[in-house]
Amino acid sequence: MDDLVNDGWNIKYGKDKDRNPDPERPYLTVKVRFDFRPPSIWMITGGRKVLLSEETVGSLDGVTIKTADVVISPHVYDFNGNKGISASSEGGLHHGR
């Protein structure tokens, strides 16, 4: 995780019970656009493979993903003095618990 942070990726941390950042719960927000060329995002859970749509992809928010095969593309930004790397994806395969 330190390598990603040092490279400038916008790594965030979940909160503990006292609402403080929890270093054991890092996450990376990944932007997904459906307007130009919709991505193929598949979820496999209970042996079932389901293609997620723009309406259903939000079901992955807050889910613990066991494994994922996903391509994340970096986008360097420098906006109003804030610099870093944001992440976007055009699809992937996510395996739930």
35-84 pLDDT tens trace: 888 888 888 888 899 999 999 988 888 788 888 888 888 989 899 998 88
**Distance set, CA 42 to CA 10, 13, 16, 45, 69 (Å):** 25, 25, 30, 10, 10
Question: Given this model, what pLDDT does residue 18 score?
Answer: 94
Question: Given this model, what pLDDT does residue 91 score?
Answer: 63
**At which residue do the structure tokens 């699809």 appear?**
91
Q: Are 76 and 85 within 8 A, CB to CB?
A: yes
